[in-house]
Amino acid sequence: MRVLLVNMPWSPIDVPSLALGILKRSAVENRPATSAEVYHANLEYTDWITERTEFGKGDYEYYALSSYFLGCGDWVFSSALYDDPEWRTEEFTAALRGKLSASRMRMSHELHRLAPEFVERTAREIVAREPDVVGFCSTFQQNTAALAAAKYVKRLAPHITTVLGGANCDAEQGHAAHRNFPFVDYVVRGEGEAAFPRLLAALDGSGSPRAIPGLCWRDAEGTSVANPMATAPLPPAAITSPDYSGYFERLAASAARHWVEPKLVVEGARGCWWGEKHHCTFCGLNGTFMEFRSKAPERFYDEIMELARKHRVLDMYVVDNILDMGYVRTVLPRIVDSGYDLRLHIEIKANMRRSQLQTLADAGMIYVQPGIESLNSRVLDLMDKGVSGCQNVRMLRDGAETGLAVSWNYLHGFPHERDEDYTPVIAQLPALEHLMPPVDLSARIAIERFSPYFNRPELGYDALRPDVHYRFTYDLPESELYDLAYVFEAPERGIGEETAGRLNDGIKAWHEAYPSSRLTHTDLGDRIVLVSRRRMFDWRVRELTAPVELAAFRLLDQPHHPAALARKVAGQLASEGAEGPPQEGGAADEPAIRELLERWLEWGVVFTDAGQYVQLAPAAVNEDLLRLEFMRSTAAAPEPAAAQDPGERPAVPVP
């Protein structure tokens, strides 16, 4: 049996498809008589469209990631799905007027008009390879492109079996796609490395589609049937390693080779150990399975090394929703000792200790995504994040000190949040301008399928509707769109536009000031030297010499309430015999500590939230190198507020 796996736009072009790499290996290893290859239609599209339009790297990134919550990428290929180069152009224009720049609107219309031609070409290429089965991956904004290609393949070669799978096909979404688009023969819902080989066996006469958990298939009358979803996730030992052969060779022959440095995608775990206990209210990741599972440390390390050696690539995305903390003691030290200068991006929790962050940095994890979405504890409690505002700020500080670039988003619009939750944070943003800013301006949350906000109306959202972009993309009744959709319209909750505007003004100023801002400290034992270069503070050097100041500053490495800080300072000074009279070291009682903290707030040396304080000055190491990287990566782009189209949300992480 010949299997062709197709990666349509808008899959990212700088990484191979993890999902198709897994399916390729699982198909071949479980079905020895099967051959499988991946057709990189996303790279084909890049070469094809750049010959016809003024299309560049920034355009691809926009439609692949940045416009996800606007649905621009899916609308582009809806013209192919419905065989109409002018498909709902008026509706698209009306819905996104004021949200897209004029140039982006023109580009969207041009790509939309040309999409049927590309999909026709792609279908002919697929059919010419004479596969028995064609599998299409649908994640993020691949859905209409994948559906359109399946339609054109079926039109050209009805005997070819078409299969759809991926994150857009979980649970109700997959069944909606199957019953509404009859040119898709099967939809694999959930984890595919077990289900897909079983489907191939059934197609080869061994077994029945009825027995495959989650599979959508058609009975003798052509009616769509959805098997019950699997009742348990795959155990970690069954999570297949990807086969990326062919991707790097195809990228090397593509126009995109001048746009990106290729990266590997590696997977150590699935699910979220925090989400098992406290599902963040806005998070729709993990779909039907939240249960955290991680590969054995030896196996994960071997996979990383094998991929690096085979493809001679050191840049890697670790796609785990959250780091297995055991890997800090097992996998990462082995990477440190391996001699490989890896550069990795991984998601972590924001309350990791500095020593743990240093291990990440030593192992090459230069980009971390710690799940920071706010700097206010009350709003974080509404999210059920399990961290405080001061802990998040401490993460930004320690990331700078250990050489980690911290990728994070500021979100707002949570039910029951108040303007007064944001006012003190906004006032303190100038003190943070030496730390890594959020990737973009603050965005109002979207309601995502599988999130608590979607599943539990009592949390603040009811009467949800599929987001408007589904309505100008698909020709389906709203009841079907409801099952197909991942993002939903909901009444605005939380703060109004005035407060959101003040927050975004502060974030924009932060972006502008960050490359040249600095606050560091050097602890010399008998004194601590602070050096500042920030636009809102006119001092440059301060020295802390009083025993009370030294003890308090060191203790504020971790967040403290003033009362607890006073007790600890007094205890330390008493044990050292260093308290002395006030004129020699300052008093260590709570009123004196509060006075000291107020002075440090004026200096912009501490951050306060929910009654806690934490110091803001990383140790004076080489964190300025992060600014060189920041400036290098942004030198060719406008400022954040200008680079985005109006209404654009922060970019979605690579799946």
Q: Which has the closest alpha carbon to 578: 617, 607, 548?
A: 548
The reported pLDDT for the residue numbered 287 is 82
- The span from the CA of 386 to the CA of 272, in Å, is 13
**Is the pLDDT assigned to residue 513 strictly greater than 60?**
yes
Condensed to tens digits (0 to 9), the pLDDT of residues 381-433 reads 999 999 999 999 999 999 999 999 999 999 999 999 999 999 999 999 999 99
Interior angle at CA 13, CA 77 and CA 192, nearest 5: 80
CA–CA dist 615, 592 (Å, integer): 17
pLDDT (tens digit per residue) in 429-464: 999 999 999 999 999 999 999 999 999 999 999 889
Same fold flag, 2-231 and 247-507: no
Strands (E), 524-638: 528-533, 541-544, 606-609, 612-615
**Sequence ranges of the domains in the chain:** 2-231, 247-507, 518-615
pLDDT at 621: 79
Packing angle of the helix pair 354-362, 331-338 (nearest 10 deg): 40
Token reading at 573:
């000074």
- What 3-state class would DSSP assign to 109? helix
Strands 487-489 and 465-466: antiparallel
Q: Which of 322-336, 412-426, 629-643 has the lowest mean pLDDT?
A: 629-643
Neighbour count for residue 446 (Cβ, 10 Å)? 20
pLDDT at residue 366 in the model: 86
Question: How far apart are alpha carbons 400 and 619 in whole angstroms?
Answer: 9
On the CB side of 78, how many CA atoms lie within 13 Å of its CA?
A: 23
Mean pLDDT of 37-60: 98
Predicted confidence at residue 636, as pLDDT, reads 41
Cα of first residue to Cα of last residue in the chain, in angstroms, is 29
CATH number for region 2-231: 3.40.50
What CA–CA distance (Å, rounded) separates 28 from 635?
A: 45
Two structure tokens written together for 86: 């002018």
Nearby residues of 474 by Cβ (< 8 Å), 6 or more positions away: 78, 81, 144, 481, 484
Average pLDDT over every residue of 609-627: 82
CATH number for 247-507 (one of 3.60.70.12, 3.80.30.20, 3.20.20.140, 3.40.50.300): it is 3.80.30.20
pLDDT beyond 70 at 653: no
pTM value surpassing 0.85: yes
**Which pLDDT score is estimated for 579?**
46
Over the stretch 75-89, which tens digit does the pLDDT of each residue have? 999 999 999 999 999
Q: Beta strands of 140-280 (E only): which ranges? A: 161-165, 186-188, 216-218, 224-226, 264-266, 269-270
542-572 pLDDT, tens digit each: 999 999 999 999 999 999 999 999 999 999 9
Report pLDDT for 588: 85
Alpha helix ranges (H) inside 204-272: 247-252
pLDDT at 261 over 60: yes
Reported as a single tens digit per residue, the pLDDT across 206-215 is 999 999 999 9
**Cβ atoms of residues 370 and 416 within 8 Å:** no
| % of the chain exceeding 70 in pLDDT | 93
Write the pLDDT tens digit of every residue in 574-603. Answer: 988 754 444 344 678 999 999 999 999 999
| Rounded CA separation 528/545 (Å) | 7
Instruction: Read off the tokens for 453.
Output: 């906000």
Listed in sequence order, the residues at least 6 apart from 147 whose beta carbon sits closer than 8 Å to its beta carbon are: 81, 136, 138, 164, 177, 181, 183, 184
Q: What is the pLDDT of residue 252?
A: 97
Residue 39 has pLDDT above 60, yes or no: yes
- The 3 state secondary structure assigned to 61-105 is HHHHHHCCCCCHHHHHHHHHHCCCCCCCHHHHHHHHECCECHHHH
The predicted-structure confidence for 142-177, as pLDDT tens digits, reads as follows 999 999 999 999 999 999 999 999 999 999 999 999
Q: Which residue has the higher pLDDT, 643 or 39?
A: 39
Task: Output the pLDDT for position 654.
Answer: 36
Whether 639 shows a pLDDT value over 90: the answer reads no
Tokens of 71: 């649905």
Tens digit of each residue's pLDDT (9 = 90 or more) over 131-141? 999 999 999 99
Distance CA 521, CA 542 (A): 9
Query: Whole-number mean pLDDT of the chain?
Result: 93
The confidence score (pLDDT) of residue 645 equals 45
pLDDT value at 236 more than 70 = yes
Indicate the pLDDT class of residue 102, thresholds 50, 70 and 90: very high
Rounded to an integer, the average pLDDT of 296-311 is 98
